[in-house]
Amino acid sequence: MKQQQAGTMSTMSKEMQDCIDACMTAHRLCEETMSHCMQKGGQAQMQVMRALMDCADMTRTCADMMMRGSDMMTQMCRMCAEACSMCAEACSSMPDDPQLTRCAEACRRCADLCGAMA
C-alpha cells in the first residue's frame, strides 16, 4: 500500500503541491483577515468571521492531510473546497475592503484546486 500511495503522490506531485501551497496561502490570509476584522471592530460581520475561522482551520488540516498522504485526503479536499467557496463569498460581501478582497481571491483559488483534487 505504501508503494502504491507513494507512486500516486509522485504522479500527482505538481498538482498536489500547488493545492498544498494554495491551502497554506488561504490559511495565512484568513488568519490575517481575522486580525484585520478584529481591529476594525464592529464593522466585521459575524458571518464573515465564522467563515474565516472555518476556512483557516479547514485549509490547514487539508494541507496537513495531503502532505502525509492521508487516505481521507479526497474527502477533506472536497470539504475544504466548500469551506473556501463559502469564505470567498462571505469576504466578497465587503468589496471595498482590499484585505477581504485578497482573502476572497486566495480562497477561490484554493477552492478550485481542492475541488480538482477531490
Q: What is the pLDDT of residue 1?
A: 34
4 lies in some domain: no
Domain range for 54 is 14-35+45-117
d(CA 20, CA 114): 9
pLDDT tens digits for range 35-49: 999 888 765 688 899
pLDDT tens digits for range 60-95: 999 999 999 999 999 999 999 999 999 999 999 988
1 lies in some domain: no
23 lies in some domain: yes
Structural domains in the chain (count): 1
pTM of the predicted model as reported, rounded to 2 decimal places: 0.86
Terminal Cα-to-Cα distance of the chain (whole angstroms): 20
73 lies in some domain: yes
111 lies in some domain: yes
- Output the nine-digit C-alpha cell for 17: 503541491
6 lies in some domain: no
77 lies in some domain: yes
Task: Give the distance, in angstroms, between the CA of residue 77 and the centroid of all CA atoms in the same chain.
Answer: 9
Q: Provide the CATH number for the domain around residue 51.
A: 1.20.1270.360
